[in-house]
Amino acid sequence: MHILAGENVHIDIIHRLRQNNYEVLSARDVGLAGHKDREILQYSEEHNLILISGDKDFGGLIEFGPLWGRGKVILLRYHLIKTERIATDIVETIKHEAETLSSTNSVITVLSESGYRIHSPAI
């Protein structure tokens, strides 16, 4: 699976995902630094990328607001930023939910210390 990491995703998480053989682009890598959430989501949709973000405002738009039903998104909702744990959780979740992530155009996965939950118009 290919991943787009939002600007607020710690570089250590990106490195760890790459070490686990995921192709990870950052918003900066593709010229989207400072762009609006809608544009970043649109890019991820157009390129069939899983977007990872810890942006709470973006989370509200995608999980409950006007961007609902768009893209494949993993929202990070951790209280403590332990990059190794977060990267491990992302890898495990992607492996466990590979079928869902590959078979649908819209899925929001919310990750936190307590686990993950999935929201999708198709589920």
Query: In this structure, is residue 119 part of a structural domain?
Result: no
44-101 pLDDT per residue, tens: 999 999 999 988 777 777 777 777 778 899 999 999 889 999 999 999 999 999 998 8
- pLDDT score, position 57: 76
Residue 25 lies in a domain: yes
- Which pLDDT score is estimated for 86? 97
Q: The domain containing residue 53 runs over which residues?
A: 2-112
117 domain residue, yes or no = no
List, in sequence order, the alpha helices (H) in 1-123: 11-19, 37-46, 56-63, 83-96, 98-103
Residue 122 falls inside a structural domain: no
How many distinct structural domains can be found in the chain?
A: 1
Predicted TM-score (pTM) of the model is 0.90
10-55 confidence digits (pLDDT tens)? 999 999 999 999 999 999 999 999 998 889 999 999 999 999 998 8
Is 93 part of a structural domain of the chain? yes
The CATH number assigned to the domain holding 42 equals 3.40.50
Q: What angle do CA 93, 97, 98 make, to 5 degrees?
A: 110
Considering the domain boundaries, does residue 11 fall inside one?
yes
